[in-house]
Amino acid sequence: MSDADFKAISDIAYSEAGLVFPPEKAPLVQSRITRRLRQLKITTFSDYTAFVNSEQGLTERKVMISSLTTNVSNFFRESHHFDILREDILPNLLSRARAGDRIRLWSAGCSTGQEPYSIAMTLLDMAPDASTLDVKILATDIDPNVIVTAKRGYYDERAICDIDEALQKKYTETVGNGRKRGFQIKECVRNLISFRELNLLSEWPISGIFDVIFCRNVVIYFDEMTQLSLWPRFEAVTAPGGWLFVGHSERLSDRLDTEFIAAGPTAYQRPSPANTII
Ligand SMILES: C[S@@+](CC[C@H](N)C(=O)[O-])C[C@H]1O[C@@H](n2cnc3c(N)ncnc32)[C@H](O)[C@@H]1O
């Protein structure tokens, strides 16, 4: 792949999805795009970049972005966030839900579903009656392929191992046996989640606000300017007193003028009227 091809591909990834690929990532980009060339039976990178830059290549641009995203995820990843959710957040949200309030949680950049399913299992474990309450989880990602996998809710043994055994027993079903053995997330968990394709850089067709937002290990692939533009947008859709969780190597910049205050390791909270001093 020539420098010009790498630049053409990384320019599109940046302008459409905010993904930054510095020159040292050229081998990674090359290996991910090579698969696409093979599938399309295109022989050179320059033919491919000409195609994605043409009018007929509009759909391929989306496929290209999908092939460039990093989708690694685990159940209960960064488990301290789930401790905060269970101990400090859900008791109050659930009593509000039982009093008739609408409660919304958002997994932004949900990848193959482990994050929203971990949220849903935590919720259901504390409130087996959750389906009778107005409590819902929105799970979104730019990559339509991961949304298909996430919706299916079917995982192998290695993935399921990250779920505590009691929750595994309650919320997954074993399907098949031997080498074909897999685990299906039960319907009661899946029913709490709406999966949607959404590019965080585009408009958010979202109505209402969220009590908790997980946007973890997503902005790490963005530059500072894109990150700085995102946090105020998250703030605008976070309820007073609501929470924002980010990934272990991500931070809200000090240069940022948002109301979010640090409330735990990589956890932020919008002040609520009740804890405002003045
Ligand atoms: C490493 S995964 C993180 C999954 C999960 N949040 C976690 O922490 O385990 C990053 C996800 O962000 C998604 N992503 C990247 N750029 C995005 C964008 N512009 N809009 C929405 N999602 C994006 C990728 O498709 C990928 O699935």
Going from N- to C-terminal start, the domains of the chain cover 3-68, 79-275
Q: How far is the CA of 195 from the centre of ligand 1 (A)?
A: 13
For the residues 207-236, what does the mean pLDDT come to? 96
Q: Which CATH number fits domain 3-68: 1.10.533.10, 3.30.70.100, 3.40.140.10, 1.10.155.10?
A: 1.10.155.10
Q: Which segment of 24-38, 81-95, 242-256 scores lowest on mean pLDDT?
A: 242-256
For the residues 36-51, what does the mean pLDDT come to? 94
Give the number of other Cβ atoms within 10 Å of residue 60's Cβ: 17
Best of 218, 221, 230, 246 to mutate for ligand 1, by most ligand atoms within 8 A of CB?
Answer: 218
Confidence (pTM): 0.96
Q: How far is the CA of 243 from the centre of ligand 1 (A)?
A: 19
| pLDDT (tens digit per residue) in 128-181 | 999 999 999 999 999 999 999 999 999 999 999 999 999 999 999 999 888 889
Is the predicted pLDDT of residue 254 greater than 90, yes or no?
no
| Residue nearest (by alpha carbon) to ligand 1 atom 2 | 71
Closest alpha carbon to 142 in 186, 200, 185, 101: 200
Residue numbers annotated as active site? 32, 141
Best of 111, 118, 155, 233 to mutate for ligand 1, by most ligand atoms within 8 A of CB?
Answer: 111
The two structure tokens encoding residue 239? 């309820």
Ligand 1 pocket by Cβ (under 6 Å): 17-19, 69-73, 77, 109, 111, 115, 141-143, 146, 199-201, 216-218, 221, 247
**How far, in Å, CA of 198 to CA of 10, rounded?**
20
**CATH superfamily membership of 79-275:** Vaccinia Virus protein VP39 (3.40.50.150)
Predicted confidence at residue 278, as pLDDT, reads 47
